């Protein structure tokens, strides 16, 4: 009987929690983008967000990840404010 072993890249609890925060931000960003009325703008921002998150998918430096997370969160909050102003 073969012994079960963990995959070579097992995340620590801290890494797992950070990953969940990033995925949550990604989902919230895509949900916010869905509220944009103009289809062309919505597609452009959705593609931009997907590419931005995808290009940083393999980042490992915790400080760099923290900075990227803060910047992405700021961008999403600015987009939410702009949408709220546009709705009136």
Instruction: Indicate whether 3 pLDDT > 60.
Output: no
Phi then psi dihedrals of residue 8, to 5 deg: -65, -25
Q: Is the separation of the CB atoms in 8 and 52 below 8 Å?
A: no
Asked if residue 36 lies in contact with residue 42, where contact means CB atoms within 8 angstroms, the answer is: yes
At 4-61, the pLDDT tens digits run 666 667 888 888 888 899 999 999 999 999 999 999 999 999 999 999 999 998 888 8
pTM: 0.81
- For the chain, the residue count is 88
Q: Domain coordinates of the chain in residue numbers? A: 14-87
């Amino acid at each position: 009987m073969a012994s079960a072993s963990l995959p070579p890249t097992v995340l620590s609890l801290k890494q797992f929690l950070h990953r969940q925060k990033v995925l949550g931000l990604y989902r919230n960003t895509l949900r916010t983008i869905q509220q944009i009325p103009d289809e062309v703008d919505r597609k452009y921002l959705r593609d931009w967000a997907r590419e931005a998150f995808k290009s940083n998918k393999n980042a490992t430096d915790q400080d760099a990840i923290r900075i990227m997370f803060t910047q992405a969160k700021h961008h999403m909050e600015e987009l939410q404010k702009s949408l709220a102003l546009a709705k009136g």
